[in-house]
Amino acid sequence: MRSFQVLANGQGNKAGRGAAMKAWRTIALHTVVAAGFMFLLQRYGLSATLESSLLWAIVFGGCAAGLAYSQANR
């Protein structure tokens, strides 16, 4: 069942809210870890400039967020 399920009396499913919150935490965790990994790889592994490292970290983090969101909504 979906996380935003409405019961017969009109109240939301409280267990579903917890699952939705867990999904957002997972998405945020994937985003931060992927961005951090890419920043460290670019900056120290490949000796790139700070601007280039930050740009790649933002792009890679955004892609990871998109993938995590699509997996959380399967």
Q: Give residue 49's pLDDT band: very low, low, confident or very high (50, 70, 90).
A: very high
DSSP for the chain? --SSPBPTTS-B-HHHHHHHHHHHHHHHHHHHHHHHHHHHIIIIIS---HHHHHHHHHHHHHHHHHHHHHHHT-
> What is residue 49's DSSP assignment?
-
pLDDT at 21: 73
Domain contains 2: no
pLDDT at 74: 82
pLDDT digits (tens, 9 = 90+) for 55-67: 999 999 999 999 9
Which residue in this structure is represented by tokens 């670019």? 42
Q: Give the residue numbers spanning the domain of 35.
A: 30-72
Domain contains 48: yes
pLDDT at 73: 87
pLDDT at 1: 46
pLDDT digits (tens, 9 = 90+) for 6-30: 445 555 555 566 666 788 999 999 9
Domain count, the chain: 1
Write the single-letter amino acid at 11.
Q
